[in-house]
Structure 1
Amino acid sequence: MKAVLTLYDLLRLAYPRSSLQWLSALPPENVAVNWVVLAIADVQTGDLLISPAESVTQELLYEAERRGACGVILVGGSSAVPSAAKERLEMLPLPVVLLSGDENPRVIQRLLLTLLVNQRLGLVERGYRLHLQFTQLSAEGAGLPGLARAAMDITGRGVIIQDKRGSILAEQVSPALESIWTDVLTQIGTSITLPEVMRDRKQAGQQGGAVLQEIPGGLIRLIKPITVGGVARGYLSLVGLAGEIDELDYLVAEQGAVVCAIEMRHSKAMREVEKRLQVDLLTALLHEDFSPRDAALWAQNLGLDLAQAHVALRFAWSRPTSSREPPSRRRLETLVNGEVSRLGLKVILSAMGNEVVCFCQVPPRQAGYPSRRPEIALELGKAVLRKGKEEHPDTPVCCGVGLEALSLRDWQTSFRQAGQALELARRLKSDQVMYFSDLSVYRLLLQIEHSPELTAFQEETLGALLAQENSLELLRTLESYFAHNGNISQTADALFIHRNTLIYRLERIANILGQDLDNPETRLALQLALHIHRMK
């Protein structure tokens, strides 16, 4: 705490910037305040005078300056200041500030004197007022964006509210940082940029205090964990120029984090209710337990329009590449929800078994036009796979996407198609979104995969090759050869081998199989057998 409060410090600690309007030039930073008085007759050198705006006169301002006042606070609206007094303000070296509102001057005096006489007690009282202000905003439905705006208005700092993974939930730029705000968000927009003490959410929640972190470019970041149940569920940051952070910033961070925690718990409770409704609705739709009218009404309450086209997506963890257990289904659900929120999509989502299922609303195609690729849904699938790989590189996420469902009766079909695509993605260990329309011949093979004839066909066609010691190398060579339409140069480049080496391998494959690789029928049979082998 500062031993002596300046006029700037005193007003900053007491009132938000939006309630203050300087009618004269800003005061120098070293203008100290000795006392706060309400009458001009009581003014002594270094005192701060409080006066109703409508009562101010030229004579009063002259007298305040003559007596050595450090400044004048006018209480009321700008229109209440007499025009004659406004003219005098332009020539007066005395700092004059207008405090908007109708607060009683005696209440203002008491608050400012409390800060002057007992700064610690004054900060406690200011913290209580901040808590009331933030709580009122939350009760009025301002949400996290409203809390961020209020925190910026009070402190003049840039404000960022993040969830436990570092994703930005709300942010508010300050005027001083407007030109570089995008760079600031890029630098601290993930959990990786948190100080070491904040990365362990349990430790951060138990420690609880705010932490300062330097940011490249001469900036400083004050970080306060948003704690629920002893665990950090998010982070509130105030960003300013290096050396600017003061007691008010700590107060705002502390009280703001408390109300952010309440807001986040409320949002989580609302999401849980909505999630249960979505689970019930999706289950009923897939089992046709609703009439179309009832389903449409229920979906409308959840913000969905069943008159629009929807596409089924099904997500599941792939088999881990290590001995570790795969992440939980709840973690997968969190991943999907995070990307849905980031992309701003309208979906209905539910966890089913070890999968996460969602139907994504997509723009409908025009009547008479063929089905088109649902790019919005495919982008969601790609985003979830990217995020999953980033957070869990040893256990990729698999995704299957069905065709458009233009009506309720098509939802089951799209759901089934997405399931087939997901199953194939897991079998092929694919790191790409598997779209049902792209399955090609696999669509047929999945229908007859348990047929003895299918197994016999694969054995007759590829059995001799599979029996070789270096079968994996030979299979990879054959697959690449077909993938490049029999082009020797492209295949050799793809396999990083010499053309002569490739030609030798192909001749050896042909000899092992007793087949002519230039025969179109042979190629078709081998490609089909390779597809069957991949599935198994």
Structure 2
Amino acid sequence: MAEIRLSDLLAWETRLQLWRPVATQERADVAAPLAGVGDERDLTWAVSTRASMPMLPPLRGGELILLSHRVARESGVSIGALLQQIAAHGASGLIVDEEIALSLAPRDSAPVPILILSDIEISSEFETDINRMLTERRGEMYRVGMEIGRSLAALSTSGTDLQSVLQAVSQLLSVPITLVDIHGHDLVEASPGAGSEQARSATNVSAARFGAERLVEIALASSMSLRVGPVAAERHALIRMIGERIAEAIETTFSRSASLRPSGAHRSTALAELLIPPPTRGVSDRIMQATALGLSAAAIYRVALVAPEASPAATSRWLATLGRVLDAGAIDGAAAKIVELHRLESPGSVHGAAIAAKPRPGQTSTASTTTQLDAGWIAISSVVNGVVELNAAARQARYMAALVRHELVRGAVVRFDVLGDLGAYRLLYQLWGTPELHRFTTEALGDLDRRDKRGLLRKSLLAFLGTGGSHVEAAARLQIHRNTLAYRLRQISVVTGQDATDPERRLMLHLALLAQTLPPVPGDS
């Protein structure tokens, strides 16, 4: 039997309205009648009360009890007692007419929902009408569900990709549908085509009649869900009924991809393509590829790039403390690793003290539990949600690796989400390679890049700004005389048109100089 709820009946039968105590009506978070607590109870059949004993036939649960003012007057039944009795037997609600509704205590609460029937009296004919409606709706939903089920079964077993399956579902239901990860992020979207204009028009009409449209969520076994709609209230029952068939079609598509899982070098190559996806590969293709590789589309990930000179054993042991480590080949000459995290980490939770570079001669390590790197470094992205964000994490890792190679930042482990590891370079990441950043550096530094062939002026300016404008400290860091530094600063002022010794200009010059030192953006990122 197809599942029907009180909210569905309220959408189909416009003469019924959900009764609310005054205290509930005054709550700001309760809006339309269809959004009330209790109207999501399952409904089986409508049953009338009798004036003589027993007032009710045997109840099995899910029944909707009909009580007219005539039966209430002749039997002398207490509404409160009747509500308690039917609630104890699992009834879904009570329908009363307007005369009884006026007698309800406005601030009382009811153990089961109360529905008020307007315009007509409660009679055996109304009971017949309600049950006929329930029967016809169930039959209609069963027929439509079978047709959609056959279409979905054919799609899911024919090798159709995820995007095509979602598009077909959207077309069949005449509503938008979105695949959502466990964190609520949209992964793949599909909308009905031009052929669904008539169905969408009907949906809009029902929305105007029965109130605001709502979304329907369908859970998937893979920790993701499908968000269907907005859907008019009168169609919710149909969407819920075929939800299981839709979920099976999506899961079958995932399972088919998993059966084609590559191994060995082919697996590493496929994982690398998740980090730097080809331009023609869309989101749905990446989700399918990740599923085929055994990755959860909704898991939490980091991406790490490891210097070629670093110890593979030491880095693998350390990364394994974060989660499952997958070899994704090489990117920019560094070993690429995808780390599926054990749990959601807070920013900066990668253990910076857990790994360090090998001490220099005469230097001793202070951490007995530290994993030593004989050489090299590890660049680690921030936490990202789901496989569709792996390319963004890879770009972060490539950015940090480039900074380390150019000796712009230092450390055995450089973490994108630890401000102390990147400093101002993290702010500049958002503008990396953009025309806006190029215009800023050009306006701030003028011809400095072209005129300073040997880089002495820029090196001197960076040291001066890095020491807070101290001539003494900057000259000592550069190992030059203070007069030499002062001369270079005057040259810089002439070339750039900016007075480097002016405190109000230092921040602008410092950011522009840091931006100009950024490595070029990789062509395929």
Q: Same fold (TM over 0.5)?
A: no
Question: What range describes the TM-score normalised by the shorter chain of this pair?
Answer: 0.3 to 0.5
TM-score under structure 2 normalisation?
A: 0.35
TM-score, normalised on structure 1?
Answer: 0.34
More helix by share: 1
